[in-house]
Structure 1
Amino acid sequence: MITESFWYSWVLIPAMIFLARVADVTIGTVRIVFISKGLKMLAPLLGFFEIFIWLIAMTKIFQNLDNWFYFIAYSGGFATGNYIGLKIEEKLALGYVNLQIITQNPGEELAKKLASQGFGVTWHEAHGSRGEVTVIYCVIKRSGFKEATSLIKEYNPKAFYIIEDVRFANQGVFPVKSLARTSGNFPRRKGK
């Protein structure tokens, strides 16, 4: 009886609280990303499950306010849930980013290489604090970010670039993976 009570109070319930908190914070993190990306139908559904799981975890804690180990399990679940939620968001790679590249070297070759890989590119010459520069703009799908930055590193490794989230893109040129690798033809696609 004592052993069962020990395992229940000090192992099973804290593990359940930890896992519940991991689940609800992970869902909450992904829900916030969906809201920021304008996915209005998925966010409320995720919010329902987030709060439902949170209520289950809180019920167990309020039933046992004298057990400090539950608070540790709750806090650890919160931290772990944030980490897992951000990793999931990173893997989903939803939406678009604005990639702005500033090169000290002439950047026309880099801009043309990005364009040849199907990225929509706009560039112009500008004056920087250290001399003439080329400024290149690309609005790309987040899933294409690694491909674009590898081209930057290959053609102009000292280029300065920044990435900003884009909530909405009206129109643009976005590569189609299957066509980009085979035919070299890049159709214009409307963005969201």
Structure 2
Amino acid sequence: MVAIIESEIFSLILLPALIFLARVIDVSMATLRTILVVRGIKILSALIGFFEILIWLSAITQIMANLNDPTNYIAYAGGFATGNYIGIWIENKIAIGYQLIRAITTEKADDIINKLQKEDYKLTRSKAITNGKQVDILYIPVKRKELSNVLKIIRNHDPEAIYTIQDIKALSKEALPSKPITKKNKTKVFDHKRKGK
């Protein structure tokens, strides 16, 4: 084991690879943790931070022990850059949190509302004037993982609808669908009626 660690292959290839991998993991965790902190998810943020700093310490220890090898610096910097990208990619995949969609439509508001209500989404409708035209503004709170489903409904009924999306830190349970939106529900979005209406 000592012979492997002291070998040229270890110092030129394996050690930089390990530093790169450790940095990718710890920066990915740091990126994810930062996003979770902004969203107010405390316990998971703290847990990720604990393991993040352990991995970072192992990487920086190897750098400090091998200051004369520029390959390690390149591996450290490369791992940092890659870790940022992967951290954001992971966060987008797990899609934690809530978002508010503001959709502005001129003609198809009733169709959009009917379809969203059939899928049990909650929304608020208001009237406004844009460039001399009367429009409807729909406020639709959703879980982030359901965002694409709602946007698809809006685009299908009004391709010219204007919408903005805003992250929200907290949301009352009354603002969300009373039953979870599943893939099965999505494929049968128009086949069931909203209960209690």
Aligned equivalent of 1:81: 83
Q: How far has the Cα of 1:22 moved from its partner?
A: 0.6
TM (normalized to structure 2)? 0.86
Give 1:190's aligned residue.
Answer: none
Question: After superposition, where does 1:135-150 map in structure 2 within 5 Å?
Answer: 135-150=137-152
- 1:102 corresponds to 2:111: no
> Structure 2 counterpart of 1:172, which letter?
A
Alignment of 1:7-46 (within 5 A): 7-46=9-48
TM-score normalized by the length of structure 1: 0.88
Tell me how many residue pairs correspond in the alignment. 185
Q: Is 1:173 the equivalent of 2:176?
A: yes
Distance 1:9 1:119 in 2: 57
Would the aligned equivalents of 1:106 and 1:133 in 2 still touch at CA under 8 Å?
Answer: no
Q: Is the 8 A contact 2:108 2:158 kept in 1?
A: no
Structure 1 runs (4+) greater than 4 angstroms displaced: 178-183
Distance, in Å, in 2 between the alignment partners of 1:13 and 1:69 is 9
Counterpart in the other structure of 1:134: 136
Moved more, 53-62 or 115-124: 115-124
Matched, 1:65 2:67: yes
Q: Which range moves more in the overlay, 85-94 or 177-186?
A: 177-186
TM-aligned CA deviation for residue 57 of structure 1: 0.5
Mean CA deviation greater in 72-81 or 14-23: 72-81
> How big is the shift at 1:34?
2.0
Q: Write the distance in 2 (CA, Å) between the matches of 1:186 and 1:12.
A: 60
Judge which range, 112-121 or 69-78, deviates more: 112-121
- Determine the structure 2 residue equivalent to 1:184: 193
Letter in 2 for 1:61: I
Residues 176 and 186 in structure 1, CA contact (< 8 A), matched pair in contact too: no
Residue in structure 2 matched with residue 153 of structure 1 by the alignment:
155
SS at match of 2:7: helix
Unaligned runs of 5+ in 2: none
